[in-house]
Chain A
């Protein structure tokens, strides 16, 4: 079969899964987990089919387009329902369906006692469908559709436990910021379309060098608007505030959507549109700088946050910062490589966090956890594998992929070298916050829940409270389900986490400088026309290895600091907080981004709306304009009003009569 046939099949299975689960919510709701997992697994199989079909073609013929029907083909716009199968999209398909399959599997156990079990899997399958539309779409319209669909799926899953006011607030926030990103993409498309006169990717890329020169104003504007989309979706500063709040969703959702797949869409976007970005170096620089800022800002916040899921969320922001920085700088392979390994170890960390939360009976605060190591050995080992991979310690997956980006940037020189060096500072922070998390959770004196678990009992909360605001949960919508689950007791969770832990260790071996280059040679045909991807820009093997050694040393230094603060001298953390109270305050308020946005955008908009409602609408429109007309009518006695309505009736009646007469006239005059 041709690659595109496989591509359509990849889209078909999650669609069928969503429909099948959606229709069966009354009759076979317990089967939702199996159906959902099977659908995504089949999509994964078809992705492999697409990979094999693509590998069977020569390098130059690895871009295959297929259309079903005209979608928006009118007045010069030429959008079809179209997919593009090329190495980039196949790579993304494999990562998305592969990780999704494991997270579906994990969810079958994790969500078992939730009342919304089938609704959950319907949403999750819909999400995978959306993500696949995003990565396979063959034109800007399809891309935007996938882009908005993942936003919608993300909204639905963030506010999955919809009786929580924190969840619905987080959901609407995520959705609105994502729509802002959609608007960025739409306007960006307009700027590109204005000159290329086509919305198809391949057509635009082919036309771009002829209609744009380097840094054409419209091209830069378009690329900057695309970056707005990428920043909103990938939680880059200053459009990142929705991501920590998105942790309101069930933990597997955080794992799939808000770590492994959806939030990396911005990276995919930049890589997909690399022929445009290479012509707009100014825009690309903006992307690289914002990525670098994000990785540092998020890294510092992750040092002080005490909610286990939010620590990992800020870490996600920070790691995507690396990818955005890399993709904008031209390290396309490195960015995608890190996207893949990050999907493995970050999904793993979230799954581990889910298991820990299960053991803590829904509690998410690090302040309440300690000494879980003995009670949860499997979770602990998985956490360690993920933690080392995240910190970039040899030989774990994150080590090779992160340094692939940084090595490229240092080799490119100039501004990029500065950003690359800042990237190492970020790596130090990564090691520190990751192992702060691990040490605080698993080391130290076992907490009550940990001791209970060591004796074989899983803690249960008498009253379920929302970890975000302490409100008592409404268990009617299923939250949080009467049972808690931990990986140690659930084979499905164990399998999913085990596979990911393995990948977190060996996943990076596809691309070792001087040894092998599976990924870069596979992606090379899609990047062949790009000057930045040329061999001259790649660091030499020696330079790459120097980078790798520095990377692992920096990561270990971060871990060492965490060890000193939390293990060897336990009081240090409190002492530091007291010593640098202002800084701690600044960081634990997350650099005041939420407050800033609230003051600058949200409040003025609402105030304006209320003002319009209360003053202008009531006084000007109803009072002056309408009042002027109706007031004339209504003023005076009731008799006047009666007369007026009487006149209206008369008028109405006259028109009816007139029309009847017309009809009669025709009936009579017709021969």
Chain B
């Protein structure tokens, strides 16, 4: 039985988790001018560790692998549980990659108070890894909140522009969400154990099999959802985004937009869908509409803003909208695509922020498109890399981003046809704003303050590796898909089932769009049977009143 054995790696996941912080603390002991360079090189270590985990990962096994689990606060049933499964495997890798290039970018520049700066970076990396790896709800919330702190300081102390206002906005927004989530997390555990008369336990795996009542589930769902929506962010919870992204130092905004925002979308897949399947289904249309609004709104904003960094920022909002759309399509292709898109978007948005910094350095430090123009002539290499990033960002077919978007739209098409069709407006819009930025910066007449020069070492060190990864993934998007397939199937199976006991989904508005969406091209029944027969995994399987395949054939 291959399935019964999760693969093993030479390290515990704790090593991966705490290595970045440890390295940051160790390099802080060095002379200040060496701290950054040493840490940048040392950060290859967590990357290498992450690679060993990915290499040892068993793609066909849907359950958590490399599990580390110990009681943390036994009286409250809180565990220190870490694991990798198909949902977080590529995100963990992405995190280590982005932090490595961001540190390398920083190391080749003068930074004030470097020890503190790099300490916050190390802490941020550990916190993000912790949020991805955590398999206990309370542990997840702890890391989720911890992530905020380094960025609070990075914006407040190393930021530019209106950094105080940006910090306050960001912290208030996300803190409100976080407190809601903490409350929801505690309530989930308590209610679940109360309802089922089991000891208090916050493990994902346990909670998923202790369904709460429908009303409770809906409130808890909203608590988590709000926190995640603010963090992603999507419209209309994005009020903090423009200021925060504008003020953050470039390496910080690269990792923030690249992975920190992904923790939220990952949370939907890892926690919300499996734990609150009924509520996910109940609020599906609402979330799809929020996603759609995000796509269209952010596209319109990116159309019109004259600030290069904000174009990328708003394009992130639009892309997060697509990811949310995929997740709440509650169809396998949609969620697979969403997960792939998290990886793609993380790479592309980080690269795009570095490119904007490089371009701004040639436009007299200004990030306004009015000051740019004609940069390509003296910087052909930079222009080429910018072009690669632009095409990937607008999800041109042939890029991995396209496959992500294709799968997202396919999933949405299968569940709500009309929404998928409207969402394609965002695809067309993306081609306009992404090219508009490229042309505005690189082409046309030379801008007034432009002093163009070729890509330097300090810029290439972040942009080139990211572009290479983007190109490699363009040839092989299957990298992200094959690892996540089994886990995604498992995560969405309960929510994807259209007819739950006691759930009246057909009364929702907008269901006309889903009237003839075929559900049944693959049935969940064999999967359920397969899971039930797995030895050593006592799992409670939902029983469906109607197998989904029959519903699909009734058109």
Chain A residues with CB under 8 Å of chain B are 22, 25, 69-77, 81, 119, 141, 144-145, 147-149, 152, 155-156, 159, 162-163, 165, 168, 171-172, 175-176, 179-180, 182-183, 186-187, 190, 193-194, 197, 474, 476-477, 605-606, 608-610, 612-613, 617, 620-622, 625-626, 629-630, 633-634, 644-645, 648, 651-652, 655-656, 658-659, 662-663, 666
Measured CB to CB, the closest approach of chain A to B284, in angstroms, equals 18
Docked-complex contact B142 and A659, CB < 8 angstroms: yes
**Residue of A whose beta carbon sits closest to that of B126:** A659
Instruction: Indicate if B258 sits at the interface (CB-CB under 8 A).
Output: no
Q: 19 other contacts beyond A190-B413, A634-B168, A656-B146, with CB at 8 A cut-off?
A: A25-B380, A72-B477, A74-B407, A74-B484, A76-B333, A148-B396, A148-B397, A165-B444, A175-B435, A179-B431, A182-B427, A187-B420, A194-B414, A197-B521, A605-B429, A610-B304, A613-B300, A621-B236, A622-B239
How far, in angstroms, from A267 to B26 measured CA to CA in the complex? 65
How far, in angstroms, from A22 to B168 measured CA to CA in the complex? 47
The 6 closest A-B pairs by CB, nearest first: A626-B239, A148-B397, A75-B332, A162-B443, A74-B481, A609-B304
**Residue of B whose beta carbon sits closest to that of A667:** B18
Instruction: Indicate if B336 sits at the interface (CB-CB under 8 A).
Output: yes
Q: Across the interface, which residues of B come within 8 angstroms of A651, CB to CB? A: 175
Docked-complex contact B80 and A606, CB < 8 angstroms: no
Q: Across the interface, which residues of B come within 8 angstroms of A608, CB to CB? A: 300
Instruction: Indicate if B515 sits at the interface (CB-CB under 8 A).
Output: no
Docked-complex contact A645 and B146, CB < 8 angstroms: no
Main secondary structure of the interface of A (DSSP, over half): helix
Docked-complex contact A612 and B403, CB < 8 angstroms: no
Measured CB to CB, the closest approach of chain B to A548, in angstroms, equals 41
Docked-complex contact A655 and B149, CB < 8 angstroms: yes
Given A74-B485, A152-B391, A648:B171 Cβ within 8 A: yes
How far, in angstroms, from A119 to B384 measured CA to CA in the complex? 10
Measured CB to CB, the closest approach of chain B to A364, in angstroms, equals 21
**Residue of A whose beta carbon sits closest to that of B427:** A183
Q: Across the interface, which residues of B come within 8 angstroms of A655, CB to CB? A: 142, 145-146, 149
How far, in angstroms, from A145 to B399 measured CA to CA in the complex? 9
Q: Across the interface, which residues of B come within 8 angstroms of A165, CB to CB? A: 444-445
Find A149's partner among B304, B305, B397, B411 (CB 8 Å cutoff). Answer: B397
Q: Across the interface, which residues of A come within 8 angstroms of B149, CB to CB? A: 652, 655-656
Docked-complex contact A77 and B407, CB < 8 angstroms: yes
Measured CB to CB, the closest approach of chain A to B372, in angstroms, equals 13
How far, in angstroms, from A74 to B480 measured CA to CA in the complex? 10
Interface size on B, residues (CB 8 A): 86
Docked-complex contact B410 and A176, CB < 8 angstroms: no
Main secondary structure of the interface of B (DSSP, over half): helix
Docked-complex contact B406 and A141, CB < 8 angstroms: yes
**Residue of B whose beta carbon sits closest to that of A471:** B445
Given A77-B407, A159-B439, A655-B149, A612:B431 Cβ within 8 A: no
Measured CB to CB, the closest approach of chain A to B172, in angstroms, equals 5
**B window 116-164: CB within 8 A of A:** 123, 142, 145-146, 148-149, 152-153, 164
Q: Across the interface, which residues of A come within 8 angstroms of B522, CB to CB? A: 76
Docked-complex contact B478 and A193, CB < 8 angstroms: no
Docked-complex contact A179 and B428, CB < 8 angstroms: yes
Docked-complex contact B442 and A162, CB < 8 angstroms: yes
Instruction: Indicate if B482 sits at the interface (CB-CB under 8 A).
Output: yes
**Residue of B whose beta carbon sits closest to that of A151:** B396
Q: Across the interface, which residues of B come within 8 angstroms of A612, CB to CB? A: 297, 300-301, 304
Q: Across the interface, which residues of B come within 8 angstroms of A77, CB to CB? A: 333, 407, 410
Given A77-B407, A168-B439, A477-B377, A70:B164 Cβ within 8 A: no
Q: Across the interface, which residues of A come within 8 angstroms of B333, CB to CB? A: 74-77
Q: Across the interface, which residues of A come within 8 angstroms of B256, CB to CB? A: none
How far, in angstroms, from A667 to B171 measured CA to CA in the complex? 31
Find A659's partner among B146, B153, B435 (CB 8 Å cutoff). Answer: B146
Find B409's partner among A163, A186, A626 (CB 8 Å cutoff). Answer: A186
Instruction: Indicate if B436 sits at the interface (CB-CB under 8 A).
Output: yes
Please list 7 pairs of residues, one from A and one from B, whose beta carbons are closer than 8 Å in the complex, sorted by A's number. A77-B407, A148-B397, A187-B424, A190-B409, A612-B304, A622-B242, A652-B149
Given A193-B410, A630-B165, A621:B439 Cβ within 8 A: no
Q: Across the interface, which residues of B come within 8 angstroms of A155, CB to CB? A: 435
Docked-complex contact A74 and B478, CB < 8 angstroms: yes
Docked-complex contact A73 and B165, CB < 8 angstroms: no
**Residue of B whose beta carbon sits closest to that of A634:** B168
Find B439's partner among A76, A172, A474, A658 (CB 8 Å cutoff). Answer: A172
Q: Across the interface, which residues of B come within 8 angstroms of A144, CB to CB? A: 397, 402
Measured CB to CB, the closest approach of chain B to A159, in angstroms, equals 6
Docked-complex contact B521 and A625, CB < 8 angstroms: no
Instruction: Indicate if B398 sits at the interface (CB-CB under 8 A).
Output: yes
How far, in angstroms, from A629 to B175 measured CA to CA in the complex? 12
**B window 400-433: CB within 8 A of A:** 402-403, 406-407, 409-411, 413-414, 420-421, 424, 427-429, 431-432
Instruction: Indicate if B453 sits at the interface (CB-CB under 8 A).
Output: no
Q: Across the interface, which residues of A come within 8 angstroms of B380, CB to CB? A: 25, 119
Measured CB to CB, the closest approach of chain A to B100, in angstroms, equals 23
Docked-complex contact B421 and A187, CB < 8 angstroms: yes
Instruction: Indicate if B303 sits at the interface (CB-CB under 8 A).
Output: yes
Instruction: Indicate if B374 sits at the interface (CB-CB under 8 A).
Output: yes
**Residue of A whose beta carbon sits closest to that of B176:** A629
Given A612-B297, A663-B18, A629:B173 Cβ within 8 A: yes
Docked-complex contact B164 and A645, CB < 8 angstroms: yes
Measured CB to CB, the closest approach of chain A to B29, in angstroms, equals 17
Measured CB to CB, the closest approach of chain B to A442, in angstroms, equals 36
How far, in angstroms, from A477 to B452 measured CA to CA in the complex? 14
Docked-complex contact A163 and B478, CB < 8 angstroms: no
Given A74-B478, A626-B169, A634-B168, A159:B239 Cβ within 8 A: no
How far, in angstroms, from A182 to B427 measured CA to CA in the complex? 10
Docked-complex contact A613 and B239, CB < 8 angstroms: no
How far, in angstroms, from A617 to B236 measured CA to CA in the complex? 10
Instruction: Indicate if B238 sits at the interface (CB-CB under 8 A).
Output: yes
Measured CB to CB, the closest approach of chain A to B337, in angstroms, equals 8
Q: Across the interface, which residues of B come within 8 angstroms of A652, CB to CB? A: 148-149, 152-153
Given A25-B380, A652-B152, A613:B305 Cβ within 8 A: yes
Given A148-B398, A176-B428, A190-B413, A168:B304 Cβ within 8 A: no
Docked-complex contact B236 and A183, CB < 8 angstroms: no
Given A71-B477, A74-B481, A168-B444, A609:B432 Cβ within 8 A: no
How far, in angstroms, from A115 to B387 measured CA to CA in the complex? 20
Find B236's partner among A156, A179, A625, A663 (CB 8 Å cutoff). Answer: A625
Measured CB to CB, the closest approach of chain A to B266, in angstroms, equals 18
Find B443's partner among A69, A148, A163, A634 (CB 8 Å cutoff). Answer: A163
Instruction: Indicate if B512 sits at the interface (CB-CB under 8 A).
Output: no
Q: Across the interface, which residues of A come within 8 angstroms of B376, CB to CB? A: 162
Instruction: Indicate if B518 sits at the interface (CB-CB under 8 A).
Output: yes
Instruction: Indicate if B268 sits at the interface (CB-CB under 8 A).
Output: no
Given A145-B397, A179-B427, A625-B236, A75:B444 Cβ within 8 A: no
Q: Across the interface, which residues of B come within 8 angstroms of A630, CB to CB? A: 165, 168-169, 172
Q: Across the interface, which residues of A come within 8 angstroms of B245, CB to CB? A: none
Instruction: Indicate if B476 sits at the interface (CB-CB under 8 A).
Output: yes
How far, in angstroms, from A644 to B374 measured CA to CA in the complex? 45
Docked-complex contact A186 and B336, CB < 8 angstroms: no
Instruction: Indicate if B240 sits at the interface (CB-CB under 8 A).
Output: yes
Docked-complex contact B391 and A69, CB < 8 angstroms: no
How far, in angstroms, from A71 to B402 measured CA to CA in the complex? 12
How far, in angstroms, from A655 to B149 measured CA to CA in the complex? 8
How far, in angstroms, from A2 to B303 measured CA to CA in the complex? 49
How far, in angstroms, from A552 to B146 measured CA to CA in the complex? 80
Docked-complex contact B445 and A474, CB < 8 angstroms: yes
Given A171-B439, A606-B304, A655-B145, A163:B482 Cβ within 8 A: no
Docked-complex contact B521 and A145, CB < 8 angstroms: no
Docked-complex contact A644 and B168, CB < 8 angstroms: yes
Q: Across the interface, which residues of B come within 8 angstroms of A22, CB to CB? A: 384
Find B397's partner among A73, A147, A658 (CB 8 Å cutoff). Answer: A147
Docked-complex contact A175 and B481, CB < 8 angstroms: no
Docked-complex contact B406 and A75, CB < 8 angstroms: no
